Chain A
Amino acid sequence: MNDKAISLICGIIFGIGLVVSGMTNPEKVIGFLSITHNWDASLIFVMGGAIITAGPFFYLFKNKEFSALGDKINWPNKKNIDKKLIIGSSLFGIGWGLVGLCPGPAISALATFDPIIIVFLVSMAAGVLVKKNTIK
């Protein structure tokens, strides 16, 4: 199997996970971010479930140099906490709070055929491209 088939399969599994978890529904995410009003803690269980599943494997694989398909593994090794990390994550937080969609659920939400999702994704692509072309 090549990496395109693997990517497709992993995307499908990831997308099923998102929809089972309820996180493709922006209302659910807004419910989590609504800390002072009818708080819905479900998202903690989604992230918790994913982290406790993936974490031990990352630990197990920590000295791996090559993937099963033979690619060199480049672990992200950035250690310094800089302005970009804080400002970028803050801006993402604002956008997340405005709509209740982060990148994964936004793409999966195309499956609802709601045209507003396309408006969101085009805006998101614009944000990615502006970042890429203005900040090194």
Chain B
Amino acid sequence: MNNFTPFSALLGGIVIGLSVVFYFYMTGRLAGISGIFENAITNTSQRLSNLAFLLGLVIGPLIYFNFIASSAPVAFNITHSYLLIIPGGFLVGFGTRLGGGCTSGHGICGIGRLSINSIIATGVFVAIGMLTVTILQQFGVYL
């Protein structure tokens, strides 16, 4: 585990948790990003509010890069293979909406509420994600 960063991970997680709590307290909505994304592109009644959340997700890192941690470049390493990006994106969109949530909706809000459904959903997507990466590694990807 040469890249293990438990302290920044925990701190970031706490900040995310505070956002989830504040959002719920103020609006009564759970901050599941896949749901917010779906509503932003399909639901006209709360579109602006959902778009505002998504815009915040982009502004947050920009604030962080420019004003908080300007000296430390934040690593960003992503595959540039369209064979991974296009099916990957599609399955993330389709799967999260079919399963009713993603890492934030099921993994944070759902487990935070001790929802059995969310605990099972999170177990499934983590396990299948691990299986997928392990299979890709058999073909030399992500090694």
Contacts and interface: CB of A to CB of B under 8 A. Distances in A.
Interface string B14-34: 111111111111111111011
Interface residues of B, number: 113
Nearest to A116: B80
A58 B34 contact: no
Interface string B81-119: 010111111111111111110111011111111111100
B112 A88 contact: no
Contact of B128 (A40, A61, A89): A89
Contacts of A111: 58-62, 65
B38 A51 contact: no
Interface of A: 1, 3-28, 30-31, 33-55, 57-58, 61, 64, 66-69, 71-76, 78-79, 81, 84-104, 106-112, 114, 116-117, 119-132, 135
Interface of B: 1-6, 8-31, 33-34, 37-38, 41-42, 46, 48-50, 52-65, 68, 74-80, 82, 84-100, 102-104, 106-117, 120-122, 124-134, 136-137, 142-143
12 contacts: A16-B63, A26-B79, A49-B11, A50-B14, A54-B109, A57-B25, A86-B124, A96-B132, A98-B84, A103-B33, A119-B82, A128-B41
